[in-house]
A and B are shown apart, each in its own frame.
Chain A
Amino acid sequence: MSNPTQSAHYGFAERWLPRLVLAPSFLLTILFVYGFIAWNGYLSFTSSRLLPNFEWAGLVQYQALFESERWWVAVKNLFIFGGLFIGGAMAVGIFLAILLDQKIRGEGALRTIYLYPMALSFIVTGTAWKWMLNPGLGLEKLMHDWGFANFTFDWLVNPDTSIYTVVIAAMWQSSGFVMALFLAGLRGIDDSIIKAAQIDGASLPRIYWKIILPALRPVFFSTLMILCHIAIKSFDLVMALTGGGPGFASDVPATFMYAMAFTRGQTGLGAASATMMLMTVAAIVVPYLYSELRGNRNA
């Protein structure tokens, strides 16, 4: 790499200035990201309860975590929520992107409408859906007014179904985002390939299924990554919509961690659950980052 800095005839200041400018951010990252990860990791091996202590206690917190019914409910909910949310948002987003790609009049306006929920806070989304889905005056009353007298919708307050209301709200918020990503990808595809296939007599659905969607594999994987990431981190929406309830029926790992660490005085257990979350994210992200950075070097 022929970089200006590496030439010897530039002054001392010029050579050290870049390092100096980067130094604060470097130090902040080392301390507040990696240092804190280590610190949190250490806490998870102590018997810390209300106040953190630093006495080594081995794996007791992890043992407690894996024996905790509430933790497994949270993990199960993450899989239910993650699976349905990612699958649903992908399907809706890709479908809308393909529809919008048909030289639509008013595309700009439609795109703006599909994407605006992404600008809202999950707390706003949660508050709004909580009102619409509430069993008293919300959707249920609307259906009664429309003549469906026996319609009941109590998902929000039913422990078996409350996690699905989180899926509904999260899909509403994020599917437009998937649409935007795929639409950008579709616009990057060379028109001549499609024209050639059309001349060969291939039908439009077939062209999309066989040629266009396979060409969007990279977009698919980055979107999947982002959605996984949103799912694992999801905290705000659950807090605003169900508060993890009824009871702890709609807890996810992020709300579990918050409850243990900050409201129930189980610092060590909270730290252990945070470490588990980090491991899960790392298992997904590290291979992805590795291939991205390697790919860039080869390019």
Chain B
Amino acid sequence: MPKFWRGALYAALLVAALYYLLPLYVMVVTSLKTMDQIRAGNLLSLPTSISFEAWGKAWSSACTGVDCGGLQPFFWNSVRMVIPAVLISTTLGALNGYVLSKWRFRGSELTFALILFGVFIPFQVVLLPMAQTLGWFGIANSIAGLVTVHVIYGLASTTLFFRNYYVSIPDELIKAARLDGAGFWRIFLRIIIPMSTPIIMVVLIWQFTQIWNDFLFGVVFSAGDSKPITVGLNNLANTSTSVKEYNVDMSAALIAALPTILVYVFAGKYFVRGLTAGAVKG
């Protein structure tokens, strides 16, 4: 390739990189300015002096609707929601995938197809019945309710991930273990699980990102002190106050984004693998 085109190629790639990075840059610099600096400067200007005031306010004293305790309680709600939901849905997914790939029975393929369709439904269609059902069980507007919802509707994708991974483990391995007298659980715990580290990472990260970032279930099935971080952030950014504090909004957005960004930075490989796993096999 001629030198000129090579140069143009790199220029185009760098422009694209800037396009993706700019919003993050704007968020970070805005969050470090005071409102006076925001009014005096513009989107791209660096803060004249760095101030963490907006971060502090977003964390512990910004108003979301009527209460003014910052994002802190919502952040911890999300943590308390995401940990059990991820662990339970991943465990169930691994078991389902194991059965659906290595212990097929009459009707197991149909079961798989039925579960698989759950990946695709628009969740709007379950919101009204679910709201009523959670009420009957007495877990409406609670963290337990949110965990339940995320486990149920996460099953389809966790099952799909594990099943597709386990299909590629040779059946001979299972047969040999059976000849040695190993049973269903022993094979699962001693053979399958030790081979599953990559897929477990993929599913854990996938579920964590999905559930942490969820807004629909959060806004419909939570109230008062059980709201997750995404709902808290949305309320904070859309609370109409006399002066719009963009620096506080941006700090709040960064606080909400931090956990998933950290996961992406440290385990991006698995995140990308999860994103592409479903789509590229075709």
Contacts and interface: CB of A to CB of B under 8 A. Distances in A.
Interface of A: 1, 3-6, 10, 13-15, 17-19, 21-22, 24-26, 28-30, 32-37, 39-40, 43, 52, 96, 99-100, 102, 104, 110, 112-132, 134, 137-139, 141-142, 145, 172, 176-177, 180-181, 184-185, 188, 204, 218-219, 221-223, 226, 229, 232-233, 235-236, 239-240, 243, 253-254, 257-258, 261-262, 267, 270-271, 273-275, 277-278, 281, 285, 289, 292-293
Nearest to A176: B20
A262 B132 CA distance: 12
B122 interface: yes
Contacts of A253: 124
Contacts of B42: 137, 141-142, 145
Given A99-B9, A114-B17, 19 more contacts: A3-B105, A4-B103, A4-B174, A5-B104, A14-B183, A21-B184, A25-B115, A29-B156, A33-B156, A36-B130, A119-B271, A125-B23, A176-B20, A236-B230, A243-B238, A274-B125, A277-B124, A281-B122, A285-B120
Contacts of A204: 1
Contact of A219 (B13, B99, B213, B282): B282
B20 A116 contact: yes
Interface of B: 1, 9-10, 12-13, 16-17, 19-21, 23-24, 26-27, 30, 38-39, 42-44, 92, 95-96, 98-100, 102-105, 108, 111, 113-118, 120-132, 152-153, 155-156, 159, 171, 174-175, 178, 183-184, 209, 212-216, 219-220, 230, 233-234, 237-238, 246, 249-250, 252-254, 256-257, 260-261, 263-264, 268, 271-272, 275-276, 278-280, 282
Contacts of B127: 257-258, 261-262, 274
26 contacts: A4-B102, A4-B103, A22-B108, A22-B111, A25-B115, A33-B126, A40-B126, A118-B275, A122-B215, A123-B253, A127-B233, A127-B237, A131-B250, A134-B246, A141-B42, A184-B276, A184-B280, A222-B278, A239-B215, A254-B124, A262-B220, A273-B124, A274-B127, A275-B125, A277-B122, A278-B121
A13 B213 CA distance: 41
Contacts of A134: 246
B30 A121 contact: no
A233 B125 CA distance: 11
A99 B10 CA distance: 9
Contact of B155 (A29, A37, A116, A274): A29
Contacts of B95: 21-22
A129 B23 CA distance: 7
A5 B96 CA distance: 15
Contacts of A145: 42
